[in-house]
Structure 1
Amino acid sequence: MTTIFEDIKNAFSRRDNGLMKLILINIIVFVVFKILYVVFWLIKHPEWYAIVASQMCLPADISQLIFRPWSLLTNMFFHEGFFHIIFNLLFFYWFGALVEEYLGSRRLISIYVLGGILGGIAYILAYNLIPQFKVLSARTELLGASGAIYAVAVAAATLLPNYQFHVILIGPVRIVYIVAVYLFISVVNITGGNAGGNLAHLGGAILGFIFIRQLQRGNDLGKPVSFVLEKFEKLSRPKSKLKVTHSIKRNGVGGGGSHVTQEEIDDILDKINRSGYESLSKEEKQKLFSASQK
């Protein structure tokens, strides 16, 4: 058991591990709520579980949403069925690994969070503005990472449309076609029993497409999420007892060199995590190299 907790701690301590962090958060939430269900069942109050679990779900009814606004975020980390979470996380792992490899962990997390939020907004709007759904809004709630995951999948397909996955019994298939099939299924299933989930899929998909198109134009829609993550990481990051304060030379000229602090190194590493090594300036690369030689 100690090994499990150590593995989880190590996974969260890594800077470039956004995919695994998101997967672990989903799994941890799932396990905690399953244990809660067993506890409430043992004390003969299973109805208490429904009350607690509903706090994680996003209600379509705006009068309920007002009293749990956090659910716009928490619903994308909450699953109740084993198959629901297994298939969601497998789908997320396949496409999330691509996004993380090419865009970095911060942007993967940004797409996931923003996709989940836009998916939730699409769900709320549809259930309150479209007559076919409006009558159901008072008794409908959204849960699951599907909207966020569809954002990541569409982002991957928009960024790398010709990348191929090997599909069982079919062979190599371009991911743009795989994602197109999933989107088509979501559209035709809007009339089915999981209309809310399919609406969230489409909302997330729109975010994924727009995010990549804007990024290709030089606009990073994930900056607000990255800003919050940076602040949180700086607050939670333990202060190192070893401080890097050695001097470096500028343009081969000795003396009068500037000092490289631990905070500067941390900021440079954060920048690499967000945008890759090539985004560093010449001075930042020199600081990083000098620190590595100490």
Structure 2
Amino acid sequence: MDIWGDIKRTFKEGSVLTRLIYINIGVFLVLKIVGVFFYLAGQPTQLAHWLSVPSVTQDLLRRPWTPITYMFLHSGFLHLLFNVLGLYWFGQLFLFHFEGRKLLSVYLLGGLAGAAFYIVAYNVFPAFSSVYGLLLGASASVFAILVAVAVYDPNREIHLFVIGRFPLKYVAAFYVLLSILSISTSNPGGNIAHLGGAFWGWLYIHQLRKGKDWGDGLVRFIDKVAVWGTGIFKHNSNMKVTYKKPPRDDFEYNRQKNVQQDEINKILDKIGKSGYDSLTKHEKELLFKQGKK
């Protein structure tokens, strides 16, 4: 089975939500695998330390990338599982109303807002004056997505296990209130970051209703970086550009559709005789695209 090929294809052709989930899982697996090698070598690993947001501003200035990297970092499997499930559930609700670009901006800026709340709190409130903390996890970003969609569509009902159906506004309010009450009992830094994400989710929708997309600039910047990065690794001398001509009339359109259907029928026959694994990469891609139509 070409598992790696399937993963690359679904990442490339999947939604922004799919890619965010893949990145979170991928970062977790890479760090755990690297940790195994460090363990076998008898050496401690400091990768998580260097990717988490430090509460001390001097350390933050030496590691300025951490407000971005921390939101894809998780301490253990359950930490990853709950955040990925929340990202999937609330991300699906978000995409019911908005396109993927907005989901990406809310995730990233919600995470940044969570890191900002955390850093400010640990350097302002006396309770943290003698505490050195590290912040990691996607929960602030997930809170931003949850609150954003709850503010936009507050009365949408979702089904909660055992409890039953509840309006989304009450679900969001419960998690925000729980984070406030948990600051003094467990994981204060994480719960403060949740509030930062929640604040950004509310602010984003509040401004969007005024016609201002405060996340659009960030997404445009990411697009430019992606284009620039793609240009570096492309070899123009080996590039072949082809243009697909649109059908000139109904007869030509129907002819093209019949050709495509014949190809799909042949692929389905091949699956029936030899199984899905017998397909070539091109045949799998063609079948995947046809399934999305």
Matches within 5 A, 1:103-142: 103-136=98-131, 139-142=132-135
TM superposition shift of 1:240? 6.5
Give the total of aligned pairs: 241
- Give the equivalent residue in structure 2 for 1:234: 227
TM superposition shift of 1:171? 1.4
- Give the equivalent residue in structure 2 for 1:257: none
- Give the equivalent residue in structure 1 for 2:96: 101
* Cα shift readout 1:268-291 (whole Å, capped 9, x = no counterpart): xxxxxxxxxxxxxxxxxxxxxxxx
Query: If the length of structure 1 is used for normalisation, what is the TM-score?
Result: 0.78
What SS class does the counterpart of residue 158 from structure 2 fall into? strand
What SS class does the counterpart of residue 93 from structure 1 fall into? helix
* Cα shift readout 1:117-139 (whole Å, capped 9, x = no counterpart): 01000000000011112221xx2
- Give the equivalent residue in structure 2 for 1:21: 19
What SS class does the counterpart of residue 2 from structure 2 fall into? helix
Which AA in structure 1 matches 2:67? L
- Distance in 2 between residues matched to 1:103 and 1:240, nearest whole Å: 35
Q: CA RMSD in A?
A: 2.0
Is 1:57–1:141's contact at 8 Å kept on the other side of the alignment? yes
2:190 matches 1:197: yes
TM superposition shift of 1:229? 2.6
What SS class does the counterpart of residue 186 from structure 2 fall into? coil
- Distance in 2 between residues matched to 1:219 and 1:208, nearest whole Å: 14
After superposition, the Cα gap between the structure-2 partners of 1:243 and 1:234, relative to the gap in structure 1 and judged at 3 Å, is farther
Which AA in structure 1 matches 2:86? F
Q: What stretches of structure 2 of length at least 5 have no aligned partner?
A: 249-293
2:6 matches 1:7: yes
* Cα shift readout 1:215-260 (whole Å, capped 9, x = no counterpart): 11100011122112321343438777223688x9xxxxxxxxxxxx
What SS class does the counterpart of residue 62 from structure 2 fall into? coil
Matches within 5 A, 1:77-88: 77-88=72-83
Matches within 5 A, 1:44-59: 44-45=42-43, 47=44, 49=45, 51-59=46-54
Match of 1:162 among 147, 155, 160: 155
Matches within 5 A, 1:205-224: 205-224=198-217
- Distance in 1 between residues matched to 2:243 and 2:146, nearest whole Å: 41
Q: What stretches of structure 1 of length at least 5 have no aligned partner?
A: 249-294
Is 1:106–1:226's contact at 8 Å kept on the other side of the alignment? yes
Which AA in structure 1 matches 2:114? G
Which AA in structure 1 matches 2:105? S
- Give the equivalent residue in structure 2 for 1:66: 61
Q: Which has the larger radius of gyration?
A: 2
Query: If the length of structure 2 is used for normalisation, what is the TM-score?
Result: 0.78
Which range moved further: 105-114 or 127-136? 127-136
- Give the equivalent residue in structure 1 for 2:253: none
